[in-house]
Amino acid sequence: MPRLASPLVLAGLASSLLVVGCGPKKRAEPEAEAKQEVEVEVVETKDGAIPAPAKPSTEEAVAFVKEVDAKLRELWTAESKAAWTHATDITDEHAAAVAAASEQSMAYIGQAIKDARKFDGVEADPDTLRQLHLLKVATTLPAPTDPAKRKELAETATKLDSMYGTGKWGDCTDPESDACKNMGDAMEIISTSDDYDELLTAWEGWRTISPPMRPLYQRFVELGNEGARDIGYRDVGELWRSGYDMSPAEFEAEMERLWQQVKPLYTQLHCHARAKLGEKFGVDKVPAEGMIPAHLLGNLWAQEWPNIYDDMIPYPDQPSIDVTKGLEQAKYDELKMVKTAEGFFTSLGLDPLPETFWQRSLFVKPDDREVQCHASAWDVGYNNDLRIKMCIKIDMEDFVTIHHELGHNYYYMNYYTKPVLFQSGAHDGFHEGIGDTLALSVTPAYLNNMGLLSEVSEDPKAVINKQLADGLEKIAFLPFGLLIDRWRWGVFSGEIKPDEYNAAWWKLRNEYQGVAAPVERSEANFDPGAKYHIPANTPYSRYFLARILQFQFHKALCDAAGHEGPLHTCSIYGSEEAGKKLHAMLAMGASKPWPDALEVVAGTRKMDAGPMLEYFEPLQGYLSEQNQDRRCGW
Ligand code: X8Z
Ligand code: ZN
């Protein structure tokens, strides 16, 4: 994620609107805002007439924005520092410090948003007007005005985050024993085991961490919604959907439009994966026309499926594309993986990461304390104090995630001189898409150059192998990326009631992903809580958008790099021309509406899944052939 919009976000905490590595904030005028009543001081004149309130001057608006910038910088930095300390050493004391800091910034921002209203319609320079606008969408967790409730919300948010970070399953009678497992253990089993029952144990085991979150989450929703109403939104979901330079309703339609563009491709991939898993586990376990059990897809949340690639390699006689072995053989350690990823960014002419990044980041899971292992990227002081926090594994998946995280850091690095409200992505999907865009250029040829793959082949069969591996990561994710916030939008709006939390979750998982719970679930479970972004309150539509945008960015940067030939063969490594375009977009931060930023890099103002479909053209051909005699869908 991006750095904390307010520090919290980062760590995943996301209370206020920080921009942490895992997610920046939002922008755009809320629909509800128009209805908001503005409190103005009304003074009757002698004859009883009520004069129109004096319109604030341009100078007052400029001064207000300047003051907000200074104050937010101070509060968000304090929050961010506390959040970093907590994320890298989860203790009750550190949690209390985060809650206290976030309470303060929540209080300030709530008031500042209300104060900003009196400048509605003011005439001022574009930067001032943009900041006035961004302020109104600058939090992912608005707090109630009542100080007791605000405190409760800050503490609840921090508690949920800690519960996730310290989640344990298995036999924890002795928490130090090997029988007591953590998230990493569950991920390891799900990604490597072929044993149906062992997979199921890990899948169910991890989900035992979340039922205790349920009452807290329910209260969190109530309090967050109260805060949202206080600043003129119907609920938290509407506030989130207001961050895209369009109305919340238009944003919903935009998400749906993009999903419809890619849905047929997902259905094809699902169909083929289901057939292959049916061959592996038996059609009694994976029915030919039904849903895929969620624990068989190689990922604890079934969100990305590259770990089942080995079960479905199209052409096994082609050279291996498994980089994990290469990383081990070339004796890569965590530091070398990060250095190599940085090398990709500098090859484009971007600056190296600051020295402090190397001193202050956390790359390795410490064994003397609890840390929030979910990867994130930070600019703790909004002043190029860049860091990542990640429990790096030496494998391809984490090599890609490191690029993802550094994408956030490079965004921060290129806009940190701007006002804090501009220190965000053009929208949050941009922030999530930068590192992924570069990772699309981590091609077999590049890896071969780096000594991480011993052999590359240009045989069309080798291309299909690579396309399938990519598709299992990129295409498989799409419905997951969409449904997380469809669930939360429903929860925040009240359409999904607390006694339907789990059922509604599985309804969406079934409908969009064609993935089913492997054992019966009920309202005694709280499966959403076992996914980081729910307890951390990090909005998720950003990742869906990033999956689509990264192919748009990739195509545009490949054009800038002078690439010729099919899109999937392009690597922008070493292209300063591509780097210049990317830099121009990064340096804008959130200072302009996102279509302006998209135009700078891609020459269009519209998000479009076309480049993603183009990239996967060879795979589409392969999948339709494979699925010829199958009935796809569920
Ligand atoms: O949370 C992340 C990043 C940090 S912003 C590691 N991602 C999503 C997830 O893990 O669920 C990246 C892809 C989707
Ligand atoms: Zn991210």
**Residues 401-428 pLDDT 10s:** 999 999 999 999 999 999 999 999 999 9
Cα-flanking dihedrals φ and ψ of residue 252, to 5°? -60, -45
User: Looking at residue 430, what is its pLDDT?
Assistant: 98
Write out the two tokens for 386. 């860049």
pLDDT score of 39: 43
Under the banding of pLDDT at 50, 70 and 90, the label for residue 6 is: very low
Residue 325's CB: how many other CB atoms inside 10 A?
A: 14
Ligand 1 atom 14, closest CA: 543
Binding residues for chloride: 244, 542
Which ligand 1 atom is the nearest neighbour of the CA of 375?
A: 6
16 has a pLDDT exceeding 60:
no
Residue 19 scores a pLDDT above 70: no
What mean pLDDT comes out for the span 498-509? 98
- Asked whether the predicted pLDDT for residue 204 surpasses 50, the reply is yes
Which ligand minimizes its atom distance to the CA of 304? 1
Mutation test residue for ligand 1: of 392, 411, 432, 472, the one with most atoms within 8 Å of CB: 432
Q: How far is the CA of 628 from the centre of ligand 2 (A)?
A: 37
Q: Which atom of ligand 1 is nearest the CA belonging to 401?
A: 6
pLDDT tops 80 at residue 53:
no
pLDDT of 287 strictly over 60? yes
At residue 12 the predicted structure's pLDDT band, cuts being 50, 70 and 90, is very low
Does residue 22 surpass a pLDDT of 90? Answer: no
Taking residues 573-593, report their average pLDDT: 98
Query: By alpha-carbon position, which residue is closest to atom 13 of ligand 1?
Result: 543
Contact criterion met (CB below 8 Å) for 239 and 136: no
Residue in 3, 22, 544, 547 to alter for ligand 1 test, most ligand atoms within 8 A of Cβ: 22
pLDDT of 30 higher than 70:
no
Look at residue 55 in the predicted model and tell me its pLDDT. Answer: 86
Point out the ligand 1 atom lying closest to the alpha carbon of residue 481: 14
Strands (DSSP E) found in 507-549: 515-516
pLDDT-derived band at 1, boundaries 50, 70, 90: very low
Q: From the CA of 128, how far away is ligand 2's center (Å)?
A: 28
How far from 18 is each of 97, 102, 165, 421, CA to CA, in Å?
16, 10, 19, 10
Mean pLDDT for the stretch of residues 62-91: 98
Q: Residue 49's pLDDT is what?
A: 66
349: left (phi over 0), alpha (psi -120 to 50) or beta: left
pLDDT for 36 beyond 50: no
Q: What is the pLDDT, as a whole number, of residue 20?
A: 53
Ligand (nearest to CA of 538) = 1
Please state the pTM of the whole predicted model: 0.94
Q: What angle do CA 499, 231, 32 make, to 5 degrees?
A: 80
Query: Which ligand has its closest atom nearest to the C-alpha of 547?
Result: 1
Helices 248-281, 460-493: axis angle to 10 degrees equals: 130
Tell how far the Cα of 550 is from the centroid of ligand 2, in angstroms: 13
Taking the centre of ligand 1 as the mean of its atom positions, its distance from the CA of residue 301, in whole angstroms, is 12
Q: How far is the CA of 114 from the centre of ligand 1 (A)?
A: 33
| Among protein residues, the one whose CA lies closest to atom 12 of ligand 1 | 543
With b for 16 or more beta-carbon neighbours within 10 A and e for fewer, the 7-28 pattern comes to: bbbbbbbbbbbbbbbbbbbbbb
374 CA: nearest ligand 1 atom: 6
Check pLDDT > 50 for residue 242.
Answer: yes
Q: What is the pLDDT of residue 34?
A: 38
Q: What is the whole-number distance in angstroms between the Cα of residue 315 and the centre of ligand 1?
A: 30
Instruction: Say which ligand is closest to the CA of 302.
Output: 1
Ligand 1 geometric centre to CA of 2 (Å) = 11
Ligand 1 atom at minimal distance to the Cα of residue 22: 5
Q: Which residues are annotated as a binding site?
A: 244, 404, 408, 432, 542
b/e sequence 519-536, b meaning 16+ C-beta within 10 Å: eebeeebbbbbbbbbbbb
1-10, 446-455, 475-484, 587-596: lowest mean pLDDT where?
1-10
Residue of 390, 392, 427, 391 whose CA lies nearest to 411: 427
Q: Which of 103, 405, 563, 568 is catalytic?
A: 405
Q: Residue 3 — pLDDT band, cuts 50, 70, 90?
A: very low
Atom of ligand 1 nearest to the CA of 23: 5
Site to substitute for ligand 1 among 374, 392, 474, most atoms within 8 A of C-beta: 374
Give the position, in ligand 1's atom list, of the atom nearest the Cα of 390: 6
Number of Cβ within a 10 Å radius of residue 568: 19
Ligand nearest to the CA of 400: 1
* pLDDT over threshold 70, residue 283: yes
**Alpha-carbon distance 573 to 579, whole Å?**
9
Predicted local confidence at residue 54, as pLDDT = 78
Among 304, 543, 545, the mutation site with the greatest number of ligand 1 atoms within 8 A of its Cβ is 543
Which residues form the pocket of ligand 1, taking CB atoms under 6 Å from any ligand atom? 1, 21-22, 303, 375-376, 401, 404, 543
Task: Give yes or no: 272 in active site.
Answer: no
State in Å: Cα 537 to ligand 1 middle: 13
β-bridge pairing 292-293 and 169-170: unpaired
Q: Which residues are annotated as a binding site for Zn(2+)?
A: 404, 408, 432
Which residue among the candidates 94, 431, 533, 554 is catalytic per the annotation?
A: 533
In contact, 622 and 467? CB cutoff 8 Å: yes
| Of 174-178, 186-190, 489-493, the least confident | 174-178
Q: Quote the percentage of the chain above a pLDDT of 90.
A: 91
Q: Encoding tokens for residue 169? A: 């399953």
Residue 527 has pLDDT above 80, yes or no: yes
Residue nearest to atom 8 of ligand 1 (CA): 543
pLDDT exceeds 50 at position 15: no
295 included as an active-site residue: no
Across the chain, what does the average pLDDT equal? 93
